[in-house]
Amino acid sequence: MNFDYTDDQKALKDEARRFLAAVSPLTVARAALDGADHEVMAALWNRIAEQGWCGAAIPEAYGGLGLGYVELCALAEELGRSLCPVPFASSIYGFAEALLVAGTEAQKLALLPRVAEGSLVGTLALSEGPGTLTADRIKARVVGDKLSGVKLPVTDGGAANQAVVLAQSETGPGLYLVDLTGAGVTREALSTIDPSRGGMRITFDTVTVEALGAPGEGLALLERIEQRAAVLIAFEQLGGADRCLEMARDYALERYAFGRPIGSYQAIKHKLADVFIANEVARANAYYGAWALSSDAAELPLAAAAARVAATNAYWLATKENIQTHGGIGFTWEADCHLFYRRARHLSLVLGGPSVWKRRLTSALEAQVLREDTEGERA
C-alpha cells in the first residue's frame, strides 16, 4: 500500500518546484498576458526541455526517459502551481499521448524522440465552433490525403509545429497528423481568457496529412487520448488549486479588519475549509487517476473522468474564493489572483467541458455496476 508519491517522486517534485520558482515565477505568466515575447517563451521552453521533462513518461524506445506516469503527474502538479506559460500540456499530454495511443510504430519512432527532446512541439486541433464535440459538428474534411477546414481555438497553436487534427473522412471522423509549418496552413492569433496559453484559429487549405489510427475511429481514439490527458491535467489543476488556497490563507493572516486578521472570522475560515476539502477530494481522485494511468488499469475511463470532474470543481472553487478572500485588491490587474482564475477555466474547457466529463463518469459508473451485478450473479 502506497497511495502517495514515493520518496524519489517527492524529490523530483521538490526539485521541479525549486526549478520553476527560479525560471518561471508568476511574473513570467503575467508577462504572457501583456503580450508574449516569443524569444523569451522559446528560451523558457528550452530550459524546461533541458530538464528532460518532455520525455518523462515517453518510453526509452522512443527517446524518452521512461520514468513513468506518476513522475509526469508530479511534474504536472508543479507546472500547474507555477502557471508556467509553456506548451507542455498540449505537446506532452495531448500530442505525445495521441501518438502513443494511435500511432504506428513508424510514426512513434519518427516523432516521439523529437517530442521528448522538446524540438518538436505538438498540439491537438479539435473544435470548430460552439457546443460539445460531436461527429456532426466536425466540418473539416480529408479527401485523399488533403485536409481542408478551420479549427479554433487551437491551444498553443502558435508554438506548435505539428498538430493532430480531427477531420471527417469517407468513413467518419478520423485523426490526422499535420505539419503546421507547411504550405496551406494559415495561423491567426485569437484572444482567449487565458493568454498565457495562447489560442489560434488555424485554416487548412488542401494540406497534406497522414492518418493517425484508422480513419472513422477518430472519436473513439480521441476519447482514449483525452482520458490520459485528463489525469495529467487534473494534476495541473490540483497544483493551481493548492496554490490558490495558500494565497488566500496567507492573505487572510496578514490582512486586518475590525482590529483582527480576517482569517479569524468564521466567514473566511469556513470558506477556506470548504476549499481545503474540495482540494482533498481532487487530490484523492487525481491519485486514483495516476494509479490507473500508470498501471494501465481497466478502471482508467472511470478514474480519469472522476479526476477531471473533481479537479475542475476544486480549481474553480479555490480560484473564485481566492479573489473573494482578497477583496477589492484581488480584482485588480496587478494582483495575481486573476492569473489562476483564467487558467482554471482554460484547463476546465481545453479537454472538453464539465458536462461531457460528468456524462462520461456516469457511464463508467453504470458500466461498473453492471459488471459487479454480473459478477455477483456468477459468484
Partner 1 sequence: MNFEDNPQEATYRATVRSWITANAPDFGALPVEERRLWHPAHKEMARQWQAKKSDAGYACISWPKERGGAGGTAIEEAIFSQEEQRAGVQHHYFATGLKMLLPALMEHNKDELSMALVPPAVRGDAIWCQLFSEPSSGSDSAGVRTQAIREGEYWRINGQKVWNSGAQMADYGMLVTRTDPSLPKHKGLTVFWIDMKAPGVEVRPIKMMSGDDEFNEVFFTDLVIPDSQRVGEINGGWAVIISTLMNERAAVGSITGINWRDILKLARETPGDAGSVLDDPAFCDWLADYYTEVEAIRLLSFRTLTSLSRGEAPGPESSAGKLLWANGTQAMTNMALDLQDRFGMIDDPEVAHRHGAFQHRFLWSPGLRLGGGTDEIMKNIIAERVLGLPGDVRVDKNVPFRDIPSGR
CB burial class (10 A; 0-12, 13-18, 19+) of residue 165?
A: buried
| Least gap, CB of 326 to partner 1 (angstroms) | 15
| Least gap, CB of 379 to partner 1 (angstroms) | 14
Rank residues 2 and 191 by Cβ distance to partner 1 and give the closer one. 2
Can you tell me whether residue 200 is helix, strand or coil? strand
The grid coordinates listed for 85 are 506559460
Can you tell me whether residue 291 is helix, strand or coil? helix
* CB atoms closer than 10 angstroms to residue 170: 11
Rank residues 191 and 266 by Cβ distance to partner 1 and give the closer one. 266
Rounded CA gap, 75 and 78, in Å? 5
| Least gap, CB of 5 to partner 1 (angstroms) | 8
| Least gap, CB of 377 to partner 1 (angstroms) | 14
Rank residues 258 and 333 by Cβ distance to partner 1 and give the closer one. 258
Neighbouring-strand partners of residue 131: none
Asked if 258 contacts 102 with a C-beta cutoff of 8 angstroms, the reply is no
Rounded CA gap, 189 and 156, in Å? 10
Give 180's DSSP letter. T
Residue 7 phi, psi dihedral angles, 5° rounding: -60, -40
Rounded CA gap, 204 and 304, in Å? 32
Rank residues 30 and 320 by Cβ distance to partner 1 and give the closer one. 320
Give 28's DSSP letter. H
Question: Binding residues for partner 1, per CB under 8 A?
Answer: 1-5, 70, 245, 249, 252-253, 260-261, 263-266, 268-270, 272-274, 276-277, 280-281, 283-285, 287-288, 290-291, 294-295, 305-306, 309-310, 313, 354-355, 357-359, 361-362, 365-366, 369, 372
| Least gap, CB of 258 to partner 1 (angstroms) | 10
| Least gap, CB of 349 to partner 1 (angstroms) | 16
Rank residues 134 and 264 by Cβ distance to partner 1 and give the closer one. 264
Neighbouring-strand partners of residue 212: 175
| Least gap, CB of 282 to partner 1 (angstroms) | 8
Rank residues 53 and 288 by Cβ distance to partner 1 and give the closer one. 288
Rounded CA gap, 361 and 353, in Å? 13
Rank residues 86 and 311 by Cβ distance to partner 1 and give the closer one. 311
Cα torsion angle, 50, 54, 55, 57, sign? positive
Give 109's DSSP letter. H
Angle ∠(68,72,76) on CA atoms, nearest 5: 170
| Least gap, CB of 6 to partner 1 (angstroms) | 9
Rank residues 4 and 188 by Cβ distance to partner 1 and give the closer one. 4
Which candidate, 159, 189, 165, 160, places its Cα nearest to that of 178?
165
What is the four-CA torsion angle of 48, 50, 51, 55, rounded to 10 degrees? 90
| Least gap, CB of 207 to partner 1 (angstroms) | 37
Instruction: Determine the length of the chain.
Output: 379
Rank residues 70 and 222 by Cβ distance to partner 1 and give the closer one. 70
